[in-house]
Structure 1
Amino acid sequence: MTFEQFAMARLPSLLRFAVVLTGDRELAQDIVQEVLARAQARWRRISQTEDLETYVRRMVLTEYLSWRRFWAVRRLRPRTVQGGLWERLAGLGRKQRAVLVLRHYEELDDERIADLLGSSRAAVRGHASRALKTLRLEPELAHCIPAEEKS
């Protein structure tokens, strides 16, 4: 598969993922554009990986977690989706938000999330637990919280 074929096929999915991570469509576009530019430059090596999409999604996640330009100045404000949940998600730390997005949007288990973040499963559970406490989820959403986090 060429880089152009991959980018055309996966761009909408990568943008959705980045929007959910950032809560900001413009920032998501910046992150995906930066990642795709780096991926294109390294495509000969990247194209040899077993799961191209997972590899590039990990690049998006890493770029989001390490993104610093204007971070302190620019407050996340959802532009494409309205609602109190977006506002509460914007108040989370980057790793906490990433864990919730990977767990509930990408439907990954803690082991896979830990692998993507380069941390332990216990750290993932800790980030999720603190994030959910911060969000103070409504009782009807409690079924989304794993049993070990309800205590």
Structure 2
Amino acid sequence: MDKLAMTEAIMAKKAEKGLTWEGIANEIGCSPVWLTSACLGMNSASAEKAAAIAEYLELSCEVAEALTAFPTKVWDQVVPTDPLVYRLYEIMGVYGGTLKEVIQEKFGDGIMSAIDFTMEVDKVEDPKGDRVVLTMSGKFLPYKSW
């Protein structure tokens, strides 16, 4: 089973059972953001986590095996049209250079890891309209001179 078929099986079972990513993550003991990414094929799971996901969703061992496979992290290189994804793309287009400048001013010449990385999505209720809070935390990786 490839990652695409795995994702389709997971999404169908999630919808059939009326589950949420947060609910599944709470049951198997992991971050909802990481779980979602793994189930969408962009990260791999340990054999133990993959088995727990497949068991909880009542899916086959082929799904568990696909969850453990190392992903090829490729995505569309065109501007996304989904409004939520586009807004994040727009934020990087407008503030990407600013973030780079501020991070490098504080840390030096380097990058933020997307491997040693965590992300949380939170909701803050507000009478003017609820707020989305994205928290990204990545290890700073300085460039080496040699």
Please indicate the TM-score interval, normalised by the length of the shorter structure. Answer: under 0.3
Higher fraction of helix: 1
Q: Does 1 or 2 have the higher relative contact order (CA < 8 Å, sep 6+)?
A: 1
* TM-score (ref. length: structure 1): 0.25
* TM-score (ref. length: structure 2): 0.26
